[in-house]
Amino acid sequence: MNKKTLMFFRMVAASFIRRRSRMLIALFAVIIGATILSGLVMIYYDVPRQMSTQFRSYGANLILTPSEEESISSEELEKSISLIPENELEGYTPYRYENSKIHNMPVTFAGIDFESVTKTSPYWHISGEMPQNDGEALVGAKVAEKLGLKTGESVSAENSFEITPDTDISLIPEYEIFEDPETGEKHCDHSLDISITGILETGGSEEEYIYVTYKDVEYLSLTKRGYDIVEVSAAAMQDTLKSYTKRISDDVEGVSARLVKRVTASESTVLDKLQSLVFIVTAVVLVLTMICVATTMTAVITERRKEIGLRKSLGAYNSDIIVEFMCEGLFLGGAGGILGSVLGYVFAQLVSMNVFSTSITFRPLLIPITIAASVLVTGLACLIPIRSAVDVDPALVLKGE
Amino acid sequence: MSLLELKNVSKIYGELNALDNVSLKIDKGEWLAIMGPSGSGKSTMMNIIGCLDKPSKGQVLFDGKDISKESRRKLTEFHRDKIGLVFQQFHLINYLNAVENVMVAQYYHSMPDEKEALEALERVGLKERAKHLPSQLSGGEQQRVCIARALINSPELILADEPTGNLDEANENIVLDIFKRLHKEGTSLIVVTHDPEVGEEAQRIVRLEHGHISSDIRNEKFSEG
């Protein structure tokens, strides 16, 4: 590095170090701008992911049903679920329905996993407790009203079967089986005792069922089989979900997948609007930031008009002045961009934690983009006041006019 | 041979003739004082001589070369190479220390050299204050840094605008002593001043009034010498 270049950096360094209060004001303006820019862009790109997670509280957005067979086997279910990326899968709940009678009134039982159903149907409102064990039941509000059932009560569900070669007699206690002496046919009067731990209120069709474990449904029906329907909740947008339904329907024989359009379409609409809003806010803030940075840089450069006049009187060309002052401006832009991209992440994280209650995904690509944008904005902001400052007549400035 | 010659130079601002058909010759090694009341055209003449402004009419010859029609860029190169400026308000860059302020003039002229800059400060008796910022220097010291900066590129002409205007008597004497020494060493000096005491130190005193040269006299002190 020759002596001239060294002197150049010595002057720039002195300007930063010995005029630090002024430079800090300018740097502060650039940092604020870069922080807001990178923070909002980070939020803009993270909104879909954040909102997808939020929308999962509205329930499942994907339904699997048997396409050919009567039910979906465990193997088919496992294969279908494996086609959805693990990081997007919020949960899934297979349902198996069986009819039975309580107090001689027909009712439909649904066998579910009470733990997984909290993920696919987080909106369920339960008066009482969620069942934990076999023999416990959650009763839909409509069924409870119709049969006069209450939390804490025990009831018997009864089924009468003709025993055929298909019947799994290993499930039936011997005392329930009797033979018709005339025809020789075997029958069984089968019952399941359940205790009601809670009443389910959703305002929807879910209130028309009694929910028990798979084992209880199997015992009640005396039949081993797969599931009638599977509700899946995945944190993905409509188009992605569509690709999953296609892949499952194509790849897994016996399973048909479809979207819950009511949920996915409204998610898409809300998300588009939200992203547009964040985009507009980002654009407005960017413009305001540019004005703020430009105003600060104009003030910083205007107060150095005398120095510019002096440099010209010492033999500096206009191009020398532009290079020197632009270099300071661009350095400010770069430093502000680096700090701003770090603070922007913190800002986005705070917003995300407060609004969505989840952390934001860090996007490394935003660091160079923020630095480049910051350098560009600061450069543009400096260019106008520098251009006007170099036109100053050194004779006038040095006379103090 | 004359170092500088103004030939029928006028400077017109709108309807005002700041300089009106002025002709003046300055020899190499000469110490000239330009005096006159406010508005007499002193600053205008200094700006034209210092290549910071161009005349509306007439010629400015430096070493016999007409520079009055040169482009801004050529004029910048010219005054950078030939002229050292000393200002009433010193005009030091406030965030550079004394030696760096001197080196700025080298930076735009040729190549900065801290050793040479320190030598220039030594000539004005300020070597020990080289690392001080302007705010840490007295007015007299700041003016001496300004003179060191004007000297650093060995100009053919030192052009000083009210160099003692902001100084007390003690510092005024220090600055005048420096000018005397420079004059003795053969440097050409043009000093614009209100102060008769400063003017009387010059070899030749030119008085301006309403844009005209009203008198141009040789200092008897030098004639006697």
Burial of B114 (0-12, 13-18, 19+ CB in 10 A): middle
Provide the residue-wise pLDDT of chain A in tens; the chain has 401 residues.
Answer: 788 899 999 999 998 898 888 888 888 888 988 898 888 888 888 877 777 666 766 678 889 999 877 889 999 999 999 999 988 888 999 999 999 999 889 999 999 999 988 888 888 889 999 999 999 999 999 999 999 999 999 999 988 877 777 777 777 777 777 777 888 787 888 888 899 999 998 888 889 999 999 999 988 888 888 999 999 988 887 888 889 999 999 998 889 998 887 676 777 788 788 888 888 887 887 788 778 777 877 887 788 888 888 998 898 998 898 888 888 888 989 999 999 999 999 999 998 888 877 788 888 888 999 899 889 888 888 888 888 878 888 877 666 55
Structure token pair of residue A385: 């006041």
Burial of A223 (0-12, 13-18, 19+ CB in 10 A): middle
Q: Which residue of B has its CA nearest to A315?
A: B80
By Cβ distance, the residue of A3, A307, A311 closest to B113 is A3
Residues in B closer than 8 angstroms to A309, CB to CB, are: 91
For residues A34 and A71, state if they share a domain.
no
Hey, is the C-beta of B100 within 8 angstroms of any chain A C-beta?
yes
Asked if A4 and B107 come within 8 Å (Cβ–Cβ), the reply is: yes
Asked if B133 and A18 come within 8 Å (Cβ–Cβ), the reply is: yes
d(CA B157, CA B164) in angstroms, rounded, equals 18
Among the candidates A215, A231, A259, a domain finishes at A259
Asked if A312 and B76 come within 8 Å (Cβ–Cβ), the reply is: yes
Find the chain A residues whose C-beta atoms sit closer than 8 A to any C-beta of B.
2-4, 6-8, 10-11, 14-15, 17-19, 306-307, 309-317, 320, 393-395, 398-400
- Has residue B223 got a pLDDT over 80? no
Asked if A315 and B79 come within 8 Å (Cβ–Cβ), the reply is: yes
For residues A73 and A222, state if they share a domain.
yes
Question: B69-90, pLDDT tens digit by residue?
Answer: 888 888 888 888 999 999 888 8
Asked if A8 and B107 come within 8 Å (Cβ–Cβ), the reply is: yes
For residues A134 and A169, state if they share a domain.
yes
Q: Which residue of A has its CA nearest to B150?
A: A314
For residues A129 and A226, state if they share a domain.
yes
Q: Which residue of B has its CA nearest to A2?
A: B111
Q: Could you tell me which of B194, B192, B196, B218 has the C-alpha nearest to residue B205?
A: B218
Best A7, A8, A19, A314 residue to mutate vs chain B (most B CBs within 10 Å): A314
**In DSSP terms, which residues pair with B161 in a beta bridge?**
B192
For residues A290 and A366, state if they share a domain.
yes
Hey, is the C-beta of B111 within 8 angstroms of any chain A C-beta?
yes
Query: Where residue B59 falls among pLDDT bands split at 50, 70, 90?
Result: very high
Backbone φ and ψ of A67, nearest 5°: -95, -35
> Domains of chain B (ranges plus CATH)?
28-54+71-218 (3.40.50.300)
For residues A92 and A78, state if they share a domain.
yes
Among the candidates A259, A283, A313, a domain finishes at A259
CA A7 to chain B, closest CA, distance in angstroms equals 7
Asked if B80 and A315 come within 8 Å (Cβ–Cβ), the reply is: yes
Residues in A closer than 8 angstroms to B13, CB to CB, are: none
Q: Which residue of B has its CA nearest to A16?
A: B95
Asked if B111 and A2 come within 8 Å (Cβ–Cβ), the reply is: yes
Among the candidates A259, A281, A301, a domain finishes at A259
pTM of the model: 0.67
Asked if B93 and A310 come within 8 Å (Cβ–Cβ), the reply is: yes
By Cβ distance, the residue of A7, A317, A398 closest to B87 is A398
For residues A212 and A144, state if they share a domain.
yes
Structure token pair of residue A375: 């350098």
Query: Where residue B225 falls among pLDDT bands split at 50, 70, 90?
Result: very low
For residues A109 and A79, state if they share a domain.
yes
For residues A237 and A284, state if they share a domain.
no
Domain total in chain A: 2
Residue B119 has a CB neighbour count (10 Å cut-off) of 15
**Whole domain around residue A111: which residue ranges?**
60-259
Asked if B112 and A7 come within 8 Å (Cβ–Cβ), the reply is: yes
Q: Which residue of A has its CA nearest to B97?
A: A14
Query: Number of Cβ pairs closer than 8 Å across A and B?
Result: 78
Residues in A closer than 8 angstroms to B95, CB to CB, are: 14-15, 17-19
For residues A308 and A387, state if they share a domain.
yes
For residues A50 and A65, state if they share a domain.
no
Asked if A306 and B79 come within 8 Å (Cβ–Cβ), the reply is: no
Query: How confident is the model at residue A144, as a pLDDT?
Result: 93
Written in H, E and C, the secondary structure of chain B is: CEEEEEEEEEEEECCEEEEEEEEEEEECCCEEEEECCCCCCHHHHHHHHCCCCCCCEEEEEECCEECCCCCHHHHHHHHHHHEEEECCCCCCCCCCCHHHHHHHHHHHHCCCCHHHHHHHHHHCCCHHHCCCCHHHCCHHHHHHHHHHHHHCCCCCEEEEECCCCCCCHHHHHHHHHHHHHHHHCCCEEEEEECCHHHHCCCCEEEEEECCEEEEEEECHHHHHC
Asked if B80 and A314 come within 8 Å (Cβ–Cβ), the reply is: yes
Beta carbons of A337 and A375 less than 8 angstroms apart? yes
Chain mean pLDDT for chain B: 90
Enumerate residues 6+ apart whose C-beta is below 8 A from A76. A226, A252, A253, A254, A255
**In DSSP terms, which residues pair with B159 in a beta bridge?**
B85, B190
Asked if B91 and A310 come within 8 Å (Cβ–Cβ), the reply is: yes
Enumerate residues 6+ apart whose C-beta is below 8 A from B87. A398, B146, B160, B161, B163
Query: Where residue B144 falls among pLDDT bands split at 50, 70, 90?
Result: very high
Asked if B91 and A11 come within 8 Å (Cβ–Cβ), the reply is: no
For residues A361 and A217, state if they share a domain.
no
Residues in A closer than 8 angstroms to B106, CB to CB, are: 7
By Cβ distance, the residue of A14, A394, A399 closest to B96 is A14
Residues in A closer than 8 angstroms to B148, CB to CB, are: none
SS3 for A330?
Answer: helix
Query: Where residue B102 falls among pLDDT bands split at 50, 70, 90?
Result: very high
